[in-house]
């Protein structure tokens, strides 16, 4: 029986698209994306999900305040979700959601953890920091989510070389194409097949 996957998003949904494509091509064969939830209205990720025939919802902190994580957990539990994937989800996950899905929430981070991670490191900020520091190799990490930002057990990593003349935007694109879009679907399949 296929495991039910929920994908949480906040933006354009490029990692969501990688997951949809991986599902369609058979890379993800032990699970199926049953819903996509955004914490922001009007983001392109919701359109990507709708185009793929996947149920969407918007649950915002503005609307639910302190009960945001409880509302998310309730929505996902009602849909009997097995695995939760954070794909560019720009909200810190709190106890109600962590408790509802122990060792079943994964995140992709655009660096090789433990470098350039934790509070404040997201999006272009990660790549800016890597370039500023002068590292020669960066990459992406898929890890379990716990109460520490980017602190959960690592599932997969993939290295990406930094090239002369890289800008944060160029590096971000290369890390997505060469690492994130490859290891996120593989890690999701690995988790689904192990449940």
Q: Which residues pair with 33 in a beta bridge?
A: 5
CA 42 to chain centre: 19
Residue found by looking up tokens 């990660």 in the block: 126
Decide if 109 is catalytic: yes
Distance CA 18, CA 183 (A): 10
Q: Which two tokens stand for residue 130?
A: 């890597």
Q: State the alpha helices, DSSP H only, in the chain.
A: 14-25, 44-51, 61-64, 68-78, 95-100, 124-133, 168-175, 181-194
Distance CA 52, CA 50 (A): 5
Peptide bond preceding 114: is omega within 30 degrees of 0, i.e. cis?
yes
Catalytic residue among 4, 48, 71, 109: 109
SS (H, E, C) 55-76: EEEECCHHHHHHHHHHHHHHHH
Catalytic residue annotation: 109
């Amino acid at each position: 029986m296929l495991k039910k996957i929920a994908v949480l998003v906040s933006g354009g949904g490029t990692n969501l698209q990688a997951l949809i494509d991986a599902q369609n091509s058979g890379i993800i064969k032990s699970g199926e994306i049953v819903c996509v939830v955004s914490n922001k209205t009007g983001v392109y990720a919701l359109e990507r999900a709708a185009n793929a025939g996947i149920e969407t919802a918007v649950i915002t902190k503005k609307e639910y305040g302190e009960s945001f994580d409880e509302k998310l957990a309730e929505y996902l539990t009602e849909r009997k979700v097995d695995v939760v994937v954070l794909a560019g989800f720009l909200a810190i996950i709190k106890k109600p959601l962590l408790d509802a899905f122990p060792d079943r929430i994964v995140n992709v981070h655009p660096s090789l953890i433990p470098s350039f991670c934790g509070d404040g490191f997201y999006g272009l900020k990660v790549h800016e920091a890597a370039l500023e520091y002068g590292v020669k190799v960066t990459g992406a990490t898929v890890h379990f989510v716990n109460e520490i930002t980017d602190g959960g057990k690592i599932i997969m990593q993939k290295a990406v070389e930094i090239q002369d003349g890289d800008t944060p935007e160029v590096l971000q694109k290369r890390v997505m194409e060469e690492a994130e879009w490859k290891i996120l679907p593989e890690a999701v399949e690995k988790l689904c097949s192990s449940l």
